[in-house]
Amino acid sequence: MKTTRSRRPQPAIAERKASERTAQAAGVGKRTGGKPAGDEYSTRNPAFGKAAVTSAKPAAGRGRNEPVTSTPVAGRGRNASATSTPAPSRGRNVTVGAPATSPAQGRGRPAAAPASAQQTRGGRSGRGAELPASAYESRGLRTPRSKPNPQGGKAERPTFEAYKAVAAANAAIGVGDETRKIKYKTVSRARRMQLRQGSVKELQMQKELRERRVATTEIPAERLQKALAFTGYGSRRAMEDAIAAGKVSVNGKIAALGSKVSLGDDVRFDGKKVVLKWPDRLPRIVMYHKQEGELVSRDDPEGRVTVFDRLPRLKSSKWVAVGRLDYNTSGLLLFTTSGELANRMMHPSFEVEREYAVRVFGELTQEQINEMLKGIELEDGTAHFASLQRRGGEGFNHWYHVVLKEGRNREVRRMFEHFGLIVSRLIRVRFGAMTLPGRLRRGHFHELTELEILGVMRWAGLKINGRQADE
């Protein structure tokens, strides 16, 4: 069996260590650049002079930058302040010549030095004298910072009075009352629903549809604000304001509201050339299972989570929400890159059905159900359900499935509140021909394939580029 034995020190290492000990005993250190300890000086520490009181006998310590006098002191800490009898200390930056009340002992914190002593080189806090109060006030609305210690060593933490003074200064100018507080959020992207891969024939058809483009001769002229919004310069309303302000020109002339553009026109926005994008391919459609506590908005002043923070990012276009859902409502929410398809599904004139699952505290009577189907008066007009079905329940909770053909603000909740029933849960399960998949979890999304998108466009009566089929 192989045994191990301790390694003996190499002769070269032993000789090097012996030479280092000899050099240290002679008062030569690395920081002095080979100079004797009595002639040392440091550009970083103004406490050291060019000359120090030395003696013929060198120090027996092993530290660096240690001016030596006659008798050592037993201290081993850093920044030790000594009398005319410094120590064979192992620390650094020992100041010599200043009187002290007692020798520094132990390896703890540095001994206190008199106020007249110069600052010794400590840590990061020993950079200079204490700053005046006006210097902290000039920093603005910030939390009071640690003050440098003029004696070196650890910095002084701000006191409770300093925090109170900063809070009072902030309150004096209205911080927290007039200033809007933005909550910075970290939102994770929604996960994609896992699906099995289709057959070889389906994949080939999807690839052909993905690469299919509409001929340029089939792309008609578009309104200028619509073309700019589709390119990604902003909303249609913002583009209308820009056109009214005279910021947009077409073929060298200032454009007016209602102007149309076609392929080959020279469009400029604020003097810069605009490369317009045209709907010449299949749009993208996403089914998202919205969670409660998410806003259907692109920006929220309070910094709450929005559904657009959760969707996958787009490079050349933007997502258009098909309808909206309340903050406390969950369920199916559709997004597309085609404004024509979104308008086709949202406009009340097309009467696209929206189905909701509703849980209420209490139970509807048959007379109330008949009245809801016939129509009830709300603040903004008459509202009625296209259908209403009982779906069971336990105790005080009862479920109903209702169908609407319009999408007014909080319409389902207001109709149940008309009879004194409180809706405790509201889920949208269907929008038009698209139903919320049972495998689609909350907070996940499913992007329709090219074949599914083609079926939706045919159901809406639109071509690939979003134009009507009869155009």
**CB neighbours of residue 427 within 10 Å:** 21
SS3 sequence of 23-79: HHHCCECCCCCCCEHHHCCCCCCCCCCCCCCCCCCCCCCCCECCCCCCCCCCCCCCC
CB-based contact 465:218 (threshold 8 Å): yes
SS3 sequence of 397-465: EEEEEEEECCCCCCHHHHHHHCCCCEEEEEEEEEECCEECCCCCCCCEEEECCHHHHHHHHHHHCECCC
**CB neighbours of residue 449 within 10 Å:** 18
Q: Which residues contact 200 (CB under 8 A, 6 or more apart)?
A: none
Token duo for residue 197: 């891969």
Q: How far apart are CA 258 and CA 242, in angstroms?
A: 13
Distance of CA 441 to the CA centre of its chain: 24
238: phi > 0 → left, psi -120 to 50 → alpha, else beta; which?
alpha
Token duo for residue 347: 């406009």
Residue 265 is among the residues annotated as catalytic for this protein? no
Q: What are phi and psi of 261, to 5 degrees?
A: -130, 155
CB-based contact 242:427 (threshold 8 Å): no
Q: Which residues contact 467 (CB under 8 A, 6 or more apart)?
A: 220, 340
CB-based contact 89:107 (threshold 8 Å): no
Token duo for residue 72: 């050592």
For 113-151, give the DSSP string.
--TTSPPP--STTTTSSPPPHHHHHTT-S-PPPPBPPTT
Options 265, 270, 326, 470, the catalytic residue: 326
Distance of CA 309 to the CA centre of its chain: 10
| Among 334, 358, 356, residue whose Cα is nearest residue 345 | 334
Q: Which residues contact 176 (CB under 8 A, 6 or more apart)?
A: 170
Which contacts (CB < 8 Å, 24+ apart) does range 415-419 have?
A: 415/372, 415/376, 415/378, 415/383, 415/385, 416/358, 416/360, 418/376, 418/378, 419/364, 419/368
Active site residues: 326
